[in-house]
Structure 1
Amino acid sequence: MNWQLIIPGLVILPIKLVGTSLFLIYFPQIFPMPGFQGTLNSTTERNVTVLQTTSGLPKTQPDSSTITTTARDRTAKPLQWEGHGGNYYLFSKAKEVWSSSRTECDDQSSDLVVISDRKELEFLRNKTRDADYFIGLTYSEMEMRWYWIDKTELTRGLFTLKPKTLDYENDCAIIRAGEVSPASCHKRNQWICEKTMK
């Protein structure tokens, strides 16, 4: 038997197995995949690492201490949020369609931004110079009017909304450098979440 070839192989094999296992465990965290809601867990069974997805398992209800902690945390300033005028704002780096953007905000106990005054508009103008961001403004084809997600109608005078094109695609709105424009709800853009300071 040629031990000079076998010993390096026995040393390299466990290193490769550990490296592959770590890669499979941390890959979804480093490179998140859209549409994949499951998480990977690793468990050890008889010295063999087995990966399992949890997407098919039923979701468990959190206990009351978790609910209390979550409710308390909603009033604290979250990380990566910026405070202004009694509200916190999150400027996303990722891009999603409008409905997914709103879901992302909801997951953060917030909603897409509703611009209520000139100070807020000026704050957003300074933060949105380099990209298009979805805001909480949509067009009602039936009523032929723009409405905020809080069901209030867009009032004239706060900003001039660029004209809506005749196609039915541009029923959402984006902001860039303080200019609000109609945009396709199905195009992927960054977004702004807003939550009230309490």
Structure 2
Amino acid sequence: MKKLILFIPLAVFLVMGVLLYRGLFLNPQKLDSVLEGKPVPYFQLQDLYDPDKLITNDNIKGQVALLNVWGTWCPSCMYEHPFLMGLAKQNILPIYGINYRDEREAAIQLLAKDGNPYVLNVYDDKGRLGLDLGVYGAPESFLVDHKGIIRFRFAGPIDNKVWTDTLLPMVKQLQAEAKGASRL
């Protein structure tokens, strides 16, 4: 019996090793969002530029949009930023920013220097909205339909490949659905 007890730490170590090894092959971009198919959670937060202006989830309804969670502290967000600037210039869909757990002045300075791709920018300094959205980190983006329903979540920086292969086909489909609904 005493010899069997000596093997317990080895068994625990082996189980943990298998779980950690399996985790190496998970793709965080393919993690499901429990909010897909559900409305954007209700929020009422300050505008990044104007603390007296409140933005709510009603501000993002009416057309297919991209919610982009970002921060100045996030290197992947800085990688993604030039692509978002180009995307904003194409005027395919509005991009709404969620400045996540950041310092207001740092965010404003960065956008003044590098450009602002966002139609509106929510200041989520405490991360409440990010928590409600189930954000794991930044950048994360949510494709939202014209009714304010989250249709897709993407974790990681958006680049041309992600946009062309994954997001753009969904955007076109959602925009066609919105057009069809407006005709009724």
**TM more than 0.5:** no
Q: RCO greater where, 1 or 2, for CA within 8 Å and sep 6 or more?
A: 2
TM-score relative to the length of structure 1: 0.27
TM-score relative to the length of structure 2: 0.28
Structure whose CA Rg is larger:
1
The structure with the greater share of residues assigned to helix is 2
The structure with the greater share of residues assigned to strand is 1
